[in-house]
Amino acid sequence: TLGGTGKQSGKRHPTLGENVVVGAGAKVLGNLLIGNNVRIGAGSVVLRDVPSDCTVVGIPGRIVYKSGVRVNPLEHGSLPDSEAVAIRSLLDRIESLEQQVKSLQPQHSVSLTSAADFNAANFNSVPAVLELGSNVAVAEKIELAVTPSCQLKDRVIQEFLDGTGI
């Protein structure tokens, strides 16, 4: 098929250069300029102008050879992982905000008179099965529960963010 469809007035057909081969079933749609020595593969659909000395294949048509040199296709394996980049920037932002909050909070030390004074059921983030040992151990567990951190210590998450995938 050579030409466009529709009710537009004016030129709707392509201009083919010298020594152009259009394969069987190929479609060149619209008022396009096809350069000299161009080969269009069978079944291809060309929607844009094609420079001289090219080979076009596919739907939509893509240039695979230009002046006899193969044009490298898009290598999907080496594209940046946009999701990992977004997650990394969000985690960096979370860590930055946590540092700002820590610098703004007054330093409070947790002091408990005895392990019996601590009621684990009152804290949603501390497991109810918290084994109460010494006051120091309880204070450390409360400190961990009250001040969460966004440090990446999980190897799977780190590998994902580094681009090796899951």
Q: Is the pLDDT of residue 57 over 60?
A: yes
The predicted structure's pLDDT at residue 8: 67
Burial class (CB in 10 A: 0-12, 13-18, 19+), 89: exposed
The CATH architecture to which 15-70 belongs is 3 Solenoid (2.160)
Taking the CB of residue 45, how many other CB atoms lie within 10 A of it?
A: 16
pLDDT > 90: what percent of the chain?
0
The predicted structure's pLDDT at residue 153: 58
Taking only the tens place, the pLDDT of each residue in 1-34 is 566 666 667 777 888 888 888 888 888 888 888 8
Chain-centroid distance, C-alpha 11: 42
The predicted structure's pLDDT at residue 125: 44
Comparing CA positions, the residue from 149, 150, 131 lying closest to residue 141 is 131
Distance separating alpha carbons of residues 3 and 26, to the nearest angstrom: 11
The predicted structure's pLDDT at residue 30: 81
Q: Is the pLDDT of residue 113 over 60?
A: no
Residue 116 pLDDT class (50, 70, 90 cuts)? very low
Contact 20, 6 (CB under 8 A): no
Q: Is the pLDDT of residue 147 over 60?
A: no
The mean pLDDT of 50-75, rounded to a whole number, is 77
Taking the CB of residue 99, how many other CB atoms lie within 10 A of it?
A: 12
Structure tokens at 157: 């998450």
- 34 SS3 class: strand
State the pTM of this model: 0.42
DSSP-derived letter for residue 120 is: G
The mean pLDDT of 111-140, rounded to a whole number, is 47
Residue 70 pLDDT class (50, 70, 90 cuts)? low
Strands (E), 12-127: 15-16, 21-22, 27-28, 33-34, 39-40, 45-46, 54-57, 62-66, 69-70
Q: Residue ranges per domain, the chain? A: 15-70, 80-161
Q: Specify which residues 16 forms β-bridges with.
A: 34
The predicted structure's pLDDT at residue 145: 47
Taking only the tens place, the pLDDT of each residue in 88-107 is 888 888 888 888 888 888 66
